[in-house]
């Protein structure tokens, strides 16, 4: 019930891609929905969180750092969720140990944790720190 409600609710945030590169990266990541999370994996058949984001941007011809902590400094920081655009990196938790791609409407596309698969999830399920526009 909660997931259906979050899909229907109107949450602040753009559904427009941040750039052509961001759109291409997001599209690449979408093609990996259902792929298993494996710690330290960077594709093409399994991923951890930063492995997914770095692989996705590589498919768009953009090299970004491999770890979520380094990705936090890879572009322009965006502190307001309402300013995020599709394909922006979203950094979670105070130590920046998790990253995903903004999917629009308050959703993130990410590789969440061991035992899970690449999927969409409500950003409100995690502690948002900031976005990064590449």
Tokens 């991923």 sit at which residue?
Answer: 47
Burial string for 91-119 (b: 16+ CB within 10 Å, else e) reads: bbeeebebbbbbbbbbbbbbbbeeeeebb
SS3 84: coil
- Residue pair 47/53 in contact (Cβ under 8 Å)? The answer is no
Q: Is 91 a catalytic site residue? A: no
Beta bridge partners of residue 109, listed in sequence order = 101, 120
Q: Which of 22, 25, 28, 49 is catalytic?
A: 49
Q: Which of 28, 71, 98, 129 is catalytic?
A: 98
Q: How many helices (H) and strands (E) does the chain have?
A: 4, 6
SS3 120: strand
Q: Which of 92, 110, 112, 129 is catalytic?
A: 110
Q: Is 49 a catalytic site residue? A: yes
Active site residues: 49, 98, 110
């Amino acid at each position: 019930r909660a997931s259906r409600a979050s899909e229907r609710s109107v949450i602040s945030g753009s559904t427009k891609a941040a750039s052509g590169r961001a759109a291409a990266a997001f599209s690449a990541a979408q093609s990996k929905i259902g792929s298993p999370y494996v710690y330290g994996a960077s594709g093409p058949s399994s991923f951890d969180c930063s492995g997914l984001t770095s692989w996705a941007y590589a498919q768009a011809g953009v090299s970004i750092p491999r770890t979520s902590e380094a990705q936090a400094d890879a572009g322009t920081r965006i502190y307001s969720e309402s300013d995020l655009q599709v394909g922006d990196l979203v950094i979670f938790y105070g130590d920046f140990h998790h990253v995903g791609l903004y999917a629009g409407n308050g959703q993130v596309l990410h590789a969440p944790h061991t035992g899970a698969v690449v999927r969409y999830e409500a950003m409100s399920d995690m502690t948002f720190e900031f976005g990064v526009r590449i």
